[in-house]
Chains A and B, each alone.
Chain A
Amino acid sequence: MTALPTDAPPYNPEAEPFWAGATEGRLVLPVCDACGHHIWYPRSWCPVCQHESVTWTALSGRGTVYARTILHKAPGPWSAATPYVVAYVELAEGPRLLTNVVADDPSSVGIGDPVEAVFVPVTNEDDTPVRALLRFRPA
């Protein structure tokens, strides 16, 4: 099985603390300073209560599979990686996020399974790491 492609994410200064954390191997999300909501996808304010400030907070990186599909067809460089798992993972802290669960046997990944975050480096052509992508693996 070929590893999943690591497409570089578009530059998004609003979410820089998330990307900086991922690059250091930590799952960092904004937590609302007013209502305490853990916000996914990362934003610099709270879309739940509209409060203007958040605290970027390192989370456990642990969660469970909430929903999952196994893709058997994909275009371009993703084709070689099929079959692969796309899932919603529910983090221990609450939010559900769309992600990949990387497993040797995709069919072994089921709803309710415990998973943990992994951070996959995205490298420039000169091999300097610029970012890391958040994915998960069975825990």
Chain B
Amino acid sequence: MSIRGKAVIVGAYEHPRREIPDRTIAQIHREVAVGALADAGLTLADVDAYFCDATAGFGPLTMAEHLGLAPRYVDSTETGGSSYLAHVGHAAAAIATGKCRVALITLAGRPRTGGPPPGGAARMGGTPEAGFEQVGIFSPVGNYALAASRHMHEYGTTSEQLAWIKVAASEHAQHNPDALLRKVVTVDDVLASPMVADPLHRLDCCVVTDGGGALVVVHPDVARELGRAGATVLGHGEAVKHTDAGRVDLTYSAARWSGPAAFAEAGVTPDDIQYASIYDSFTITVLIALEDLGFCEKGRGGAFVADGALRSPGGRLPFNTDGGGLCNNHPANRGGMTKVIEAVRQLRGEAHPAVQVPGCELALAHGTGGALSTRHGSATLVLGAWSR
């Protein structure tokens, strides 16, 4: 049993704004839902399955009511910013087993102009590890910096190499009129930016933006009726990595497990991938994921990215052509949704012409949610071009 080819992403919508002081989070959920459904040629009345994270009230209960949905299948898997990639996999499985035919996935948040922070202090207070991690890390950057420090120690990875990831993202973002940061930066710019959590600089960090996005995943029969190009779900993998009772190893992520599962289900290898959306909360997040997904050997990520591999077009692995979380958008502090959206654009041939991968037929989208050095969820999708 496999989900290979059993479901198609026919709707994808990224909220165009990066500061939304005039909307509630629930309103933004509805805006992106309507946007993705319109992109597919559908309406809220067609939806029979709903997926969201756990940050909006009672998750799918709150949002089903707000959106006026009567879903026969719901899922609020919460793995931080990677949740939405997991949701696509779960939606495909539900569609493949006849549980639903039109699945809607939404994300919304307002960390830039206000509103409760997803995963904030109030939600963390009751967790069992809380009393043992009061070390003064209030932003994820400190947690990711720990992984960066260990990677540098074991493999000789440098700040210059990490900076190339930001440089490639900024080169792509210059073509995105909606991107928060459109200025092309250099390696020197990254290294000259203030140190936030050694060894990570300010420009090693993603943007903080309001906004959201949505996806519509449907049965292939529905996709054929709609006639809109999209992305076939070919493979999905997900995994959780945690501190393992004190045996944590900071040099790898749960992509070590989610990646091979997705590739195996799709029946392809990393060499076959023409475009990759790689979660870029921080530059180190990309570097470690590239290694774990098999795009280069463990420990060789620095050399891989410093070689211009991530540039589009022309690099060995064009990545994050919307500018990614590093430059374009990181709505609700959760970047997995926009990873899928840009992969769909590439497979439709609807990315900006300056960064469109010619003849893009096979793409990967990957999320790393939570905190890399303590507990996080990785989710990987392999997607193929769907044309009617």
Within 8 Å of chain A (Cβ to Cβ): is B195? yes
A42, A66, A69, A78: which contacts B197 (Cβ < 8 A)?
A69
Q: Is A26 an interface residue (CB 8 A)?
A: no
* Interface residue B149 (Cβ < 8 Å from any Cβ of A): yes
Per the bound structure, the CA–CA distance linking A38 and B135 in Å amounts to 21
List residues of A (1-50) whose CB comes within 8 Å of B's CBs. Answer: 4-5, 7, 9-10, 12, 14-15, 37-43, 46-48
A84 and B86 CA atoms in complex are apart in Å by 36
Q: Check A9/B150 contact, CB under 8 A, given A88-B250, A88-B373.
A: no
Q: B358 within 8 Å of A by Cβ? A: no
List chain A positions with a Cβ less than 8 A from chain B: 4-5, 7, 9-10, 12, 14-15, 37-43, 46-48, 66-75, 78, 81, 83-84, 86-88, 94-100, 107, 111-112, 133
Return chain B residues, CB-CB under 8 Å to A71. Answer: 136-137, 142, 196-198
Decide if B130 touches A10 in the complex (CB within 8 Å). Answer: yes
Give a binary string over B127-142; 1 marks a CB under 8 Å from any A CB, 0 the rest. 0111111111111001
Tell me the chain B residues, 154-199 only, with Cβ under 8 Å from chain A.
Answer: 194-199
Which interface class (under 10, 10 to 19, 20 to 34, 35 or more) fits B? 35 or more
Contacts of B139 in A (CB 8 A): 73
Q: Are A78 and B146 in contact (CB under 8 A)?
A: no
Q: Which residues of the partner chain A approach B148 to less than 8 Å between Cβ atoms?
A: 69
Q: Is the CB of A111 within 8 A of B149?
A: yes
CB-defined interface of B256-269 with A at 8 Å, one 1/0 digit per residue? Answer: 00000000000000
Within the complex, the shortest CB–CB distance from B64 to chain A, in Å, comes to 33
Cβ of A37 and Cβ of B131 under 8 Å apart? no
Question: Which of B30-38, B98-106, B240-248, B309-317 participates in binding chain A?
Answer: B240-248
Which of A48, A69, A84, A133 has the most chain B CB atoms closer than 10 A to its own CB?
Answer: A69
Please tell me if B68 contacts chain A, counting CB pairs below 8 Å. Answer: no
Q: Are B138 and A94 in contact (CB under 8 A)?
A: no
**A112 contacts across to B, CB distance below 8 A:** 153
Of chain B, the residue at the smallest CB distance from A76 is B138
A96 to B243, CA, bound (A): 8
Partner of B131, one of A15, A88, A111: A15
- CA distance in complex: A93, B135 (Å): 22
Is the beta-carbon distance between B250 and A38 smaller than 8 angstroms? no
> In the complex, A15→B149 CA distance in Å?
30
Q: In the bound complex, how far is the Cα of B142 from the Cα of A74, in angstroms?
A: 10
Which of the residues A48, A78, A81 comes within 8 Å of B245, measured between beta carbons? A48
Encoded as 1 (CB less than 8 Å from any A CB) or 0, chain B from 7 to 32 comes to 00000000000000000000000000
Is the Cβ of B246 less than 8 Å from the Cβ of A40?
Answer: yes
Please name the residue on chain B nearest to A112 by beta carbon. Answer: B153
Do A86 and B134 have beta carbons less than 8 Å apart?
A: no
Q: Which residues of A contact B153 (CB under 8 A)?
A: 67, 111-112
Cα A107 to Cα B194 in complex, Å, equals 15
- A38-B246, A68-B149 known; A98-B138 Cβ under 8 A: no
Select which of B125, B135, B147, B245 is within 8 A of A98 by beta carbon. Answer: B135
Q: Are A69 and B145 in contact (CB under 8 A)?
A: yes
Of chain B, the residue at the smallest CB distance from A37 is B245
**CB pairs A–B below 8 angstroms (6 shown):** A12-B131, A14-B128, A67-B250, A69-B200, A73-B196, A78-B138
A72 and B138 in contact (CB under 8 A), knowing A39-B245, A88-B250? no
* Cα(A88)–Cα(B251), bound, Å: 13
- By beta carbon, the residue of chain B nearest A66 is B150
B245 / chain A contacts, CB cutoff of 8 Å:
37, 39-40, 43, 46-48, 95
Asked, given contacts A41-B132, A88-B373, whether A70 binds B138 with beta carbons under 8 Å apart, the answer is no
Query: Taking the complex as formed, is B374 at the interface, i.e. its CB lies under 8 A from any CB of chain A?
Result: yes
A42 to B246 Cα, complex, angstroms: 10
